[in-house]
Amino acid sequence: MTTTTRRAIGFPAGTEVHAASGLVPIEQLRVGDEVWTRGTENAERQLGRVLEVHRVDNQAIDPFGFAPESDLSDECTYFTGAYQEFWVANRGWTIQHNLDHEERVELIDGTLGIAWGGELFAAWNTTASGIAWVPQYRGADTGEFLDFSRRPWYYLSMEEGAAAGIEKVWAEQFRWQVHVLRIEGGEALYVYRQGLLARAAFI
């Protein structure tokens, strides 16, 4: 793995990637590992070898909410590097910030998920290293703390955070390490438990 200071659209450490061996946190992948990927627009899903692994520190992290179209009760909030791109039905690659509300994104099993575009809000920094504060919605005073240093990512309630002496830092966006992979035969990864098709790149 190489560490670089180049700006990148990357996946935060802790992001689960669909690999030949199952779901693997992205920072645990190494050159030679096989991950599920897809190349050009009309290509089939395939396994591709990881050719390069890069880590970029101190990158802004944004929440991203979605649910499988087949089960909207399975709503999840994940986290991406700023300006992450997702594959959107009938539109192609679309930056997270340009997603419309209830945009349809591709999943690994060929079905679609519903992304909650148009409702973006920031993850804020805290007084504890590796822990972000995530508001319940834009401008909310309520929310949860999220420990990015644990695997899987671990949520703490506001009461648990307060008991641990953790305080939110307003107007200071949370930053964390992100990872960029170069993959044989593909340009994108299937990430998170539901397998969203997304890609990362250097800017």
Q: Give residue-wise pLDDT tens across range 99-127.
A: 888 889 999 999 999 987 655 567 899 99
Q: Are 51 and 39 in contact (CB under 8 A)?
A: no
Strands 85-88 and 76-81: unpaired
Mean per-residue pLDDT for 161-170? 93
CA dihedral sign of residues 117, 122, 128, 129:
positive
* Residue 129, phi then psi, degrees to nearest 5: -60, 130
Kindly state the percentage of the chain with pLDDT values over 90: 51
Token pair belonging to 19: 């690999």
pLDDT of 162 over the 70 cut? yes
- In tens, the pLDDT along 54-79 reads 998 988 888 888 899 999 888 888 88
Query: What confidence tier does 202 reach under pLDDT thresholds 50, 70, 90?
Result: low
pLDDT of 4 over the 80 cut? no
pLDDT of 7 over the 80 cut? no
Q: Are 36 and 23 in contact (CB under 8 A)?
A: no
- In tens, the pLDDT along 31-48 reads 999 999 987 656 788 999
**Residue-range domains of the chain with CATH:** 2-61+76-101+174-202 (2.170.16.10)
Determine the residue type at 150.
Answer: R
3-state DSSP assignment of residue 51: strand
Instruction: Identify the residue with better confidence: 22 or 83.
Output: 22
DSSP class of residue 108 equals T
**What is the per-residue pLDDT for 166?**
97
**What is the per-residue pLDDT for 9?**
75
Mean per-residue pLDDT for 172-180? 91
* Cross-strand pairs, 101: 116
**What is the per-residue pLDDT for 100?**
83
Token pair belonging to 17: 């990637």
Residue entry with tokens 């990864």: 189
Instruction: Identify the residue with better confidence: 159 or 42.
Output: 159
Q: Are 125 and 173 in contact (CB under 8 A)?
A: yes
Residue of 28, 33, 31 lying closest to 16 (CA atoms): 28
Mean per-residue pLDDT for 186-201? 88
Residue of 40, 46, 84 lying closest to 62 (CA atoms): 84
Q: How far apart are CA 108 and CA 112, in angstroms?
A: 9
